[in-house]
Every structure is written in C-alpha cells, then in structure tokens.
Amino acid sequence: MAVNPKDAGWPAPLKAQDDSAGDAIRQYTQDTERTGNGEAAAYERVVARVSGRNPRRYWIAAGASLTALLVASAVLLLVRTRAVDVLCARPASVSTAPVAGQPDRWAHPSPRSLVRLGPAPARLPAGWIDLGGEATALLSADAVASGRMQEQATEVALDSGRIELRVPPRAPGRTFSLTADSYRFTVVGTAFAVSLGPSSVELSVSEGLVAVSRDGGHQATVAAGETWSAVRPAPEPVAGVPKSRARMRASRSAKAMGAADASDCERLVRGGRMQEAIACFEGQAQEVGLAGERAQHELARLLRDRVDDPERALAAFEAQLSRFPHGLLRVETDLAIIDLLFRLGRHTEALVASELFLADHPEVEERGEIRLLRGDIYREVFGDLDRAEREYIGGAETRGRVADDSRFLRALCLEGLGREAEARRAYQSYLQQAGAAHLQEARRRINRLRP
C-alpha cells in the first residue's frame, strides 16, 4: 500500500528545503508513489542520508561493541568464580568435621609433607603430613612418632605428644593401626586423635569406630563423639610389659614352673640389651621340657612387646606350638598367634586360627574377646554384617567391656542390614543396661530409626 507524503507527517519546510534532508524526503516520496511498495527500504535510505551514517556500518559497529562487552563480562565472571573456588577449596581426602574438643583445623590445612612408608620405621615430621594416601595426619610440635607399612598393614607408633589422623575407608584386607605405650588403636576408616602424656594416654573419636587393645587383650571400642583414656602403667620389674587378661594364665603358669627369680636373660632385658637377650633366650629355648617351653615363650614375647617385630614374634610363637603342642602355655600361645595375625593384616588366617581355638577351648575365659575380634574382622575388613552380627552375639554372652561393645556393635550391624525393627529392640535393650559405654551414640542412632 502506497503512503501519501502528506499522510507520512513530513513537515513541509523540511520537504522543501534545499539540502540533503530535503532531497531524501523528496526521493522517498517519488519512490513510494512510483513503486507502491518498498516503504521500509526507502525509509532506511532516508534515515541514512539524513544522519550521514551507513546503516550497515552502524549495526556492524554496534554488534562489535556488544560482543566486546559480553566477552569482558564473561572474563570477569570467570575470574571471580576461580577466586571463590581458590578461597573455598579443601583437600578432597580430608574431612571437614572437627576433632572432638578441638578447633576445626582440618578445614584450611597448611601445606602437607608427603611421607611414603616402607617396611622400616620412618620418623614422622611435625605438622601436616600425607602418609602416601594411607592417611592424613597432624602432629604436634613435640610429637615423636614413626610409621611403616608391611604388606597390607600400616602401623604408626606414637612415643610422645599428640597426633590427629584422618584415615580413608580401607580396602578389604588392609588395616591401619596406631600404638601408644602398650595400647593399640585399630581403625578402618575414621577420624581420631591420640595424646600420649607422661602419665596417661587419651583417645577422642570424631568419625567412625576405633578398637582399643592392650597386649592382645581388648580394652574398648570407641565410637564417634566419644573419648577414652587410661593411666599409663609403671614398668614391670621383669620384662617391662604390662599384663593383660589374655596373658594372665601365662604368668600363673610361669610361677608354677618356679620362675619367680629373674634369669640371666631377663636381666639383659631390664638393661636394654635386647640383641643379647634374644640370643640368651634362643639358647635356653633349645632345652627340653618346661624350661625350653618357657624360654621360647619369653623369646616370642620379647620380639612382640619390646623389639616390636611382629613377624619374628609370630614365627617364634609358631615354633613353640610345633615343639610343644601340648605344653602348659598352649592357650596363651594360641591367643598370641591370633592377635599377631590380625595385626599383620592376615585376616583370613586369623579367622581360621580363632575358629580352631574356639573349637578346642569352648569354655576358655577369653572366648568373648575372640568373638568380638572375629566380629570386627567380618564387619570392618570383609563387610559381612551377617556373620559379624552372629559373632557379636557370642561376645555379648560374656562380661565387662567386651560384652558392652559386642551388644552395641550387634545393634549397629542390624541397622546396617536394614533390619530396623530388630535394631531398635537391640538398641533399647542396650540402653537399659547399667553403665552403657556407648550411651550417646546408641540414643542418636535409635532416634534416626523409623518408629
């Protein structure tokens, strides 16, 4: 449809003036009247001539300006995002949960030293360290500690000071343990701290579970949010090794053999002359009868408790079984072998040995500890909650802390198996017993279960 110049609203003076604007308007009028269409193109030419600009160049320039603005905005946004990421970044292997009673130092860790562990003990430096992916540790300035890894077992020894650890979940067959004084703390995947002072050893757990043992005898199982402590015992006059329930029978048997007086080998031990003491016991172990059995047993204990060589200690205990299969120290030797197999990460062998032990000694007083140990292996190492739950039932039939831990861990297994009604009843039964060691954790877990 043609547009009449009068209807287009062009001012008459503008149309009549003798300049580029007048020429453009008059040309527009001629074009529209002649063609009857093309109003948009004609109008574009008019605007270009009036303003003195090329419309194509105008839009190209505008597009370029807009593109530059968008690119600059994107770069600014990327820079700000990267800055936020850097400020908020945390190592993926370090949990941000604070250690109980301690500030949240895991949230913004200092640079860490990488320490790769091997069979020989390696001194651990103070500060943040990465134990070759096995754990992340924070050692106090006064801490004296070492670490080593043998086959599937990682072991850290704390001689003094404080150490905090973050241990990622362990693959089947791999163990992580920490020793402080005569106590051993065994973990699978957890966060905890141990302090070793002149007169006490203290444990605080912020994630997971930590099993505490002493000379092969179970002491406690400590859950998240709980603490545990013990007074460090004074050195004993003979071998300098505290006794445990699992080894009381050995002491009674030794006395029955007339071993009240210290031998020459024991005097060497008291004097710290370990290699000479080993040679002394090896010589006495060649004797027959009770004297040879006792010397072989003391040799194995020395290698385990004072020299801290579990491989040689295991070999010495196994040699004792071979030479004295019906000796007076058979029960103590069996228990020591089971404990060492567990410490060395040979869990399948530990299960076999413990099963044979329970079959041979169904009424032995340590059966509860063995059931608890077997339950821990099935639950923590192999993830078999069904078998673990059955073992904990056996552990709950005894007394003391072993029974307490077994009842709590059985409820934990039932919860993990999805048997919530049974788990609720097990937790309720556990809470009704006097002096429950895991009271807070049991209450927290029962509140999470569906009614």
pLDDT of 79 reads: 39
Percent share of the chain, pLDDT over 70: 67
pLDDT of residue 291 exceeding 60, the answer is yes
Closest CA relative to residue 144, chosen from 107, 76, 98, 195: 195
Residues 196, 193: Cα–Cα separation, whole Å:
10
Counting other chains too, the contacts that 101-109 makes at CB distance below 8 Å and 24 or more residues apart are 101/204, 101/227, 102/164, 102/193, 102/204, 105/138, 105/164, 106/138, 106/166, 109/136, 109/138
pLDDT at 257 over 50: no
Higher pLDDT, 357 or 8: 357
- Pairing relation of β-strands 190-196 and 153-167? antiparallel
* Residue 167 confidence (pLDDT) above 80: yes
pLDDT at 247: 38
Q: Which amino acid is at 430?
A: Y
Q: What is the mean pLDDT of residues 205-221?
A: 80
What pLDDT does 115 receive?
87
H or E element at residue 227: strand 227-231
Give 208's contacts (C-beta < 8 A, 6+ positions apart): 167, 187, 188, 189, 190, 191, 192, 223, 224
Of 81-90, 134-143, 330-339, 425-434, the least confident: 81-90
What is the C-alpha separation between 430 and 433, in angstroms, rounded? 6
* Averaged pLDDT, 341-365: 90
Helix (H) or strand (E) holding 74, with range, is helix 55-88
Q: Which amino acid is at 15?
A: K
Which residue shows structure tokens 């059985």? 410
Mean pLDDT for the chain overall: 76
Tell me which residue of 123, 116, 173, 121 sits closest to 143, measured CA to CA: 123
The pLDDT value recorded for residue 429 is 95
Alpha-carbon span 115 to 124, nearest angstrom: 8
pLDDT at residue 339 above 80?
yes
Q: What is the DSSP string of 180-199?
A: ETTEEEEESSEEEEEEE-SS
Q: Is the pLDDT assigned to residue 10 strictly greater than 80?
A: no
Q: What is the pLDDT of residue 384?
A: 94
Judged against a pLDDT cut of 80, whether residue 34 lies above it is answered with: no
Spatial distance between the Cα atoms of 125 and 135, rounded to a whole number of angstroms: 14
Q: Residues 152-165: pLDDT tens digits?
A: 788 898 989 999 99
pLDDT score of 380 more than 70: yes
Residue 363: CB atoms within 10 Å: 5
Confidence at residue 119, expressed as pLDDT on a 0 to 100 scale: 80
- 111-116 long-range contacts, CB within 8 A, separation 24+: 112/136, 115/147
Average pLDDT estimate for 400-414: 95
Residue 414 has pLDDT above 90, yes or no: yes
Bridge-based pairing state of the strands 144-150 and 153-167 = antiparallel
What is the structure's pLDDT at 50? 47
- Region 364-376: what's the mean pLDDT? 93
Q: How far apart are CA 79 and CA 25, in angstroms?
A: 52
Question: pTM for this one?
Answer: 0.57
Q: Are 176 and 161 in contact (CB under 8 A)?
A: no
- Give the pLDDT score at 186: 83
Per DSSP, the residues of 124-161 read PPSEEEE-TTS-EEEE-TT-EEEEEEETTEEEEEEEEE
Distance separating alpha carbons of residues 334 and 349, to the nearest angstrom: 12
- What was the pLDDT predicted at 406? 96
Q: Is 221 helix (H, G, I), strand (E, B) or coil?
A: strand
Q: Give the HSE-up count for residue 36: Cα atoms under 13 Å, Cβ half-sphere.
A: 1
Binned at pLDDT 50, 70 and 90, residue 252 comes out as very low
| Burial class of residue 12, CB neighbours in 10 A (0-12, 13-18, 19+) | exposed
Give the pLDDT mean for 332-359. 92
Residue 85, classified by CB atoms within 10 Å of its CB into exposed (0-12), middle (13-18) or buried (19+), is exposed
Give CA 214 to chain center in angstroms. Answer: 22
SS3 123: strand
- How much of the chain, in percent, has pLDDT values that exceed 90? 35
pLDDT of residue 133: 82
DSSP 302: I
Rounded average pLDDT over 128-143: 88
pLDDT attached to residue 149 = 86
